[in-house]
Amino acid sequence: MKFLAVVSLLFVLVNPNPARADLGPSPTPINSLESLDNRPFMERFPELTKFIHKEEASNLYFGFGVSPITLVNGKFGFAASIFQLHYLKDKWDTELLNLSFGKAFGDALGKEDFFLLRMSPKYKIYKNISIGPLIGIEFVHFPDVKAALTKGGLFSQQFDYSTFGYFYGGAISQTFDIGTTGTNAIRVSAIYYKERYSVEETNNGWTYYFQQNSLNIDKSPIAPSSMFMLEISYLY
């Protein structure tokens, strides 16, 4: 019996944890972060990229611009486009809305302020050149011209002559993409249209009577004419 007790004691000393005798070597503990995979999650699991939603590129562009060259009724001026909305897809280059205001310089009767709302559906004839018709509405104001309305012997108080009218014309544009993504662009447009506001009477039949009597005889200084604009815009 003493012999068996001695053998059992020697066995325990040699193998103090019999339950782990057949489990092999113990794992090496992690003592630092060097053994961890610090790559981004999607690089470690690239097969998951097919489940990521990718938003399609928008065909709508906002913009603004300036017209350093403006010519109206033989007078030079300038204009600024404060808001633009464009739709570009395939062969179509449509200017849905353009709001701009400007000023034309002239003599005492020829100074003119104008505000334009216009749109132009254009078709691409080359990769970055488009052409199409132009329509819109124009509000004009002549700060140095005084007028009154008269009808049936009645006269209104005098006011700075202002009126509005629709117009039509054409536009040609060339677009230059900025960067490699194509989300921003510089656009140069040449715009020509014919003014159609009235210097004779209003839509409800009142006649204009001008304080400057020469305009009651010859209205050419304030008469509707043709307008040309060279516009440079930034689209985003």
Exposure b/e, 189-213, CB count within 10 A at least 16 = b: bebebebebebeeeeeebebbbebe
The rounded distance, in Å, linking the Cα atoms of 183 and 94 is 16
What is the per-residue pLDDT across 106-143, written as a single tens digit (0 to 9) for each? 887 879 999 999 999 999 999 899 999 999 999 999 99
Q: DSSP letter for 22, please.
A: T
Which stretches within the chain are classed as H helix? 2-14, 41-44, 213-217
Complete domains list, the chain, with CATH: 60-235 (2.40.160.20)
Q: pLDDT value at position 4?
A: 53
Extended strands (E) in 152-195? 154-155, 159-178, 184-194
What is the per-residue pLDDT across 58-115, written as a single tens digit (0 to 9) for each? 789 999 999 999 999 889 999 999 999 999 988 999 999 999 999 999 887 879 999 9
Which pairing describes strands 226-235 and 60-72: parallel, antiparallel, or unpaired? antiparallel
The rounded distance, in Å, linking the Cα atoms of 197 and 49 is 59
Taking the model in full, what pTM does it have?
0.73
CB-based contact 142:160 (threshold 8 Å): yes
Residue type present at position 146 = K
Token duo for residue 168: 């039509």
The rounded distance, in Å, linking the Cα atoms of 133 and 95 is 11
What is the per-residue pLDDT across 5-49, written as a single tens digit (0 to 9) for each? 555 555 555 555 555 545 555 555 555 555 566 778 777 778 877
What is the per-residue pLDDT across 186-222, written as a single tens digit (0 to 9) for each? 999 999 999 999 999 998 889 999 999 999 999 999 9
CB-based contact 149:209 (threshold 8 Å): yes
Look at 50 and 88; give whichever has higher pLDDT: 88
